Chain A
Amino acid sequence: EPEVTQTPSHQVTQMGQEVILRCVPISNHLYFYWYRQILGQKVEFLVSFYNNEISEKSEIFDDQFSVERPDGSNFTLKIRSTKLEDSAMYFCASSERVGPYNEQFFGPGTRLTVL
């Protein structure tokens, strides 16, 4: 069964460092998403991406964040200068279509710890 994969599973970094979180969405999916979950809190939407452009982003997704699809398979989230409050679980998701009634498939997540 096709699945979304994410690497690394756990990333530890020093405050101020850049990190890149990687995702491989399901191959025939066209819409990609990043969500995050701070420990003990809700899963929150960060950004959606389609046709090599950001479709929508939340208030959390400020200038420190960027997304890219560098090739035909990977989808990355970059945080330029990490802060302590960026520590969270980051989930990538993908879907075949967009809009209501379209299942988003989630990856297993990358746990980011900023020291």
Chain B
Amino acid sequence: SQELEQSPQSLIVQEGKNLTINCTSSKTLYGLYWYKQKYGEGLIFLMMLQKGGEEKSHEKITAKLDEKKQQSSLHITASQPSHAGIYLCGADRNGKLIFGQGTTLQVKP
């Protein structure tokens, strides 16, 4: 089984709709990172969550960390075509990042 599991694996939403992507760790989380990747391109840092219960927002994207459940969620409000891409959660393991398999988001205009 994967150390970081993301769900869903893929998502197609209509523009304007809200959506949530989840990331669950099988090990204790000491920091959770969210990155966005466009197909075939690099990783763009979105947010880092440090403490249980922490919630951060950037524009229409909000991420939360539930340390007890070893889970994080990424919520996009009123999705736009520019939100399309692959969302990756990552966890720090002694200085290296371990990633989930990614969630592919398509936003239909």
Contact = CB atoms under 8 A, between A and B. Distances in A.
B33 interface: yes
B87 interface: no
A41 B88 CA distance: 12
Contacts of B97: 33, 35, 43, 45, 93, 104
Contacts of B43: 43, 91, 106
Q: How large is the interface on B (under 10, 10 to 19, 20 to 34, 35 or more residues)?
A: 20 to 34
Contacts, number: 62
Given A100-B30, A103-B48, A105-B45, A56 B96 contact: yes
Interface string A80-115: 000000000101010000111111111111010000
A109 B48 contact: no
Contacts of A55: 95
A75 interface: no
B98 A45 contact: yes
Contact of A99 (B88, B95, B101): B95
Given A45-B97, A99-B94, A106-B35, 5 more contacts: A45-B96, A99-B95, A100-B92, A101-B48, A108-B41
Interface in B73-102: 88, 90, 92, 94-102
B50 interface: yes
A109 B31 contact: no
B109 interface: no
Contacts of A106: 35, 42-45
Contact of A103 (B30, B33, B41): B33
30 contacts: A33-B96, A42-B99, A43-B43, A43-B90, A43-B97, A43-B99, A44-B99, A45-B96, A45-B97, A45-B98, A48-B95, A48-B96, A56-B96, A58-B96, A99-B92, A99-B94, A99-B95, A100-B30, A100-B50, A100-B92, A101-B30, A101-B50, A103-B33, A105-B45, A106-B43, A106-B45, A108-B42, A109-B40, A109-B41, A109-B42
Interface in B42-75: 42-45, 48, 50
